Amino acid sequence: MNEYRSEQNQQAAMQANASATASGASAPLRSTRRGVIVRAVLAAATLAPLLLALAPREAQALPAFARQTGQNCVACHAGGQFPELTPYGRMFKMTGYTIGQRALPLSMMGVVSASRVSNTSKSDNPPADFQKQGAPIFATGSLFIAGKVTENIGLFSQITYDNYAGQGVAADGVGAGEFKGHTNADNIDLRYADRFIDANRDLIVGVSLNNNPSVSDPWNTAAAWMQYVPVPSPTSSAFVDGNAPYPGFGSGGNVAGVTAYAYLNKTFYAELGGYQTANRGFSILSAGINDAGTTKLKGTNPYWRLAYTREWGPNNIMVGASGMTADIYDDPTDTSDPNTIARTKNLGFDAQYQYLLDPHTVTAQLAYMTNDIHYSNAVANQPSAFASDAAGTMGLANSNSSDTTHTLRAKLTYTYQAKYGGSLGFFNLTGTTNTLNQTSGYDPTTGLITSDPTGALGATALSTRVGGNLSGNPATRGFTYEAFWTPVQYVRVGMQYTSYSKFNGASSNYDGLGRDAKDNNTLFFYVWGAY
C-alpha cells in the first residue's frame, strides 16, 4: 500500500523534485541534443516553483470547469492527463457542461516546447528547413471561455494563438522569413442537453453547435481529440508527433455544424449532424481566419457517429464508428464553378479501453479512418510537371481522379498516481499513389532531381527539399514514445520521441534529394499548463 498518496506528501515531493532537476541540470553536459533538453528542463525548473507558489491547496482555483464543479482535474481527465476524459468527464460533456455551479468561465492554456530533428544535414538550407531546431519556443496559447450558461446550456470554446502560424514575406510589416503569430477560433462547442433518468432508464439528449466534425464527441479516439499535445506550426517544429498523420475528416475544422445526439442507458450513443461553410451568421465559428483560409463547403454535409459502451468494475470500453461526406471547393475564394468541387468520404472505426483504479490508469486507444477523395474536374487528370526519367521523358501518368488513404493510430498509455506517465503510439498512413502528390522528380530540361536554390542550372520543375515526395505515395509510418510528469494537476512536462520508418512513401530517399525517413526522427520536449 505504499502507493497510497497524501496531498501533503505530493506537495513536498514536488518541491524536492523541482530542486533535484535544477541541480541535476547544472552539471556540465556536452552533446547538443542534451543541451536543448537541459535548457528546456532548466526553464521548467525555474517555472515549477513559480507554479507551485500559485498552486492552491484547494480545488477551487482551477480551470473553468474545475471551478464550476469544485473537483480536481482527475475527476474528468483519466489519470489527470488532459484532454483524455474519464467516464464522468464524458457524462459532464454529454450533459452539456452543466453540472455544478456557474463560476468564472475563463481559463488559459500555454505550451512551451523545443524540438530537435535527428538529421539536418540533408537539406540545402538547414536554417530555413529546420527553423527552430533546438530552440525553446512559446508554441501556442489558448484562451478558453467555458462553462454552464443555463440549466441546460453550456459552452466550451477555445481561442488559440499560434506564435508560429506563418512567416512574413518582404511586403509585410514583419521582416521576410520572420514568424508571425495568429489568433483564431479553435474549438467551439455550444450545447443544449437534457437527461431523463430514473431507475429503469437513462436517456441523455442534446444538440451541439460546433465548428469541427467530432469536436462534440466524448471519446478521445475521435479525430478532433486524439492528438497528445498541441504543437506549433510545421515550419517551426517539422516532424513532431502532432504533425505525423492522424485520422481526420476531409472537411477539416472551422466549418459550421449542428449535431444532435442521444446516449441511452450508458450503452448506445448516436450523433447525427450537418456541416456548412462557417460564414455569415456562423462566422464566429471561423473567427480569425480570413475568407481565403476558410473551408468552403457546398450545401449541408452529413456527419454521423455511433458507439457502444460498457463499464464493469474499474474497466470501460467503447467501440464505435463515424463517417462524413463533404463537398469542398478547391478555391475558397471562388465558389462559382461546380467543376472545382472535390468530394471527400470518410469512414472511421475507433475503440478505447480504460482501466481506472487509483493509483493506476491504463488507456488503450485505436482509431482507423479511410478517406476517399474524388477530385474536382479541375484537379483530376492533370499532367505532371516532372519527367519520368533522367533523359527528360514526359512519361508520368496524369493525376488520378480519386485517391484513397487509410490512417491507423494506436496508443497505449499508463499513468501512476496521476503524476507519472508514459505512452507508446503507432501511426500508419497508407494510400494510393498519385502524381499529384509528387513534389519532387526529374526536371524535364536538365534531367536532374534538384531543388536548385540558386536557379543557376535552369531547371523548370523544382523538387522540394525535406518535405518533398518523390514517389507520389503518401505512406508514412512510425512510433511515438512519450514520458511525462504532472507535478501539479494543471501542468504537464513531457518528452516525446517520434521515429519514422516511412515518410512520404519511402524509407529512404523519399524526397529524391537523399533524405531518409529516419532522418526525420524528432525529439520533442514540452511544458503544457492550463490555468
Partner 1 sequence: MKRISLTLVLTLAVIGAGCSSMERSRSLASPSTPAKTLAAQVCSNCHSIDGNSVSPNFPKLAEQQPDYIVAQLKGFRNHRRADPEGFEYMWGISRSLTDDQIKGLAAYFAAQKSVSPGPGDPKLVAEGKNIFDKGLPAKGVPPCSTCHGDHGQGNGEFPRVAYQHSDYVIKQLTVFQRTNERPDGVAMKAITHSLSDQNMAAVAAYLQQMPSK
User: Residues in the site for ligand HEC, rule: CB under 6 A?
Assistant: 75, 88
- β partners of residue 155: 147, 190
Nearest distance in Å: CB 365, partner 1: 19
Q: Is 311 in the site for partner 1 (CB under 8 A)?
A: yes
Tell me the C-alpha distance between 506 and 521, whole Å: 14
Shortest gap between Cβ of 249 and partner 1 (angstroms)? 21
CA distance 510 to 125: 17
Q: Going by C-beta distance under 8 Å and a sequence separation of 6 or more, which residues neighbour residue 2?
A: none
What DSSP string describes 153-220? EEEEEEEEEEEEEEE--TTSSSPTT-EEEEEEEEEEEEEEEEEEEETTEEEEEEEEEESSTTTT-SST
Stretch of 195-203, 212-220, 420-428, 474-482 contacting partner 1, by CB under 8 A: 195-203
Which of 258, 307, 379, 513 binds partner 1 (CB under 8 A)? It is 258
Q: Provide the grid cell at 377.
A: 474536374
Residue 375 to residue 129: CA distance in whole angstroms? 30
Q: Give yes or no for a cis peptide into 63 (omega within 30° of 0).
A: no
Half-sphere exposure of 21 (CA within 13 A, CB side): 21
Member of 196, 455, 456, 458 binding partner 1 (CB under 8 A): 196
Which residue's CB is nearer to partner 1, number 37 or number 289?
Answer: 289
Cis peptide bond prior to 338, omega within 30° of 0: no
Cβ-based nearer residue to ligand HEC, 75 or 149: 75
For partner 1, what does the binding mask look like between residues 136 and 165, x meaning CB under 8 A? ------------xxxxxx------------
357 lies in the site for partner 1, by CB under 8 A: yes
Contacting range for partner 1; rule: CB under 8 A; set: 134-142, 214-222, 354-362, 442-450: 354-362
Cell numbers of 496, please? 516525446
The distance of closest approach from Cβ of residue 358 to ligand HEC in the complex, given in angstroms and rounded to an integer, is: 8
From 20-28, 342-350, 356-364, 428-436, span contacting partner 1 (CB under 8 A): 356-364
Nearest-approach distance from CB 263 to ligand HEC, in angstroms: 17
Task: Decide: is 69 part of the binding site for partner 1 (CB under 8 A).
Answer: yes
> Residue type at 370?
T
SS3 354: strand
Q: Does 313 bind partner 1 (CB under 8 A)?
A: yes
What residues line the site for partner 1 (CB under 8 A)?
1, 4-7, 58-60, 66, 69-72, 74-75, 87-88, 91-92, 95, 98-102, 148-153, 190, 192, 194-199, 202, 207, 209, 256, 258, 276, 279-282, 311-314, 356-358
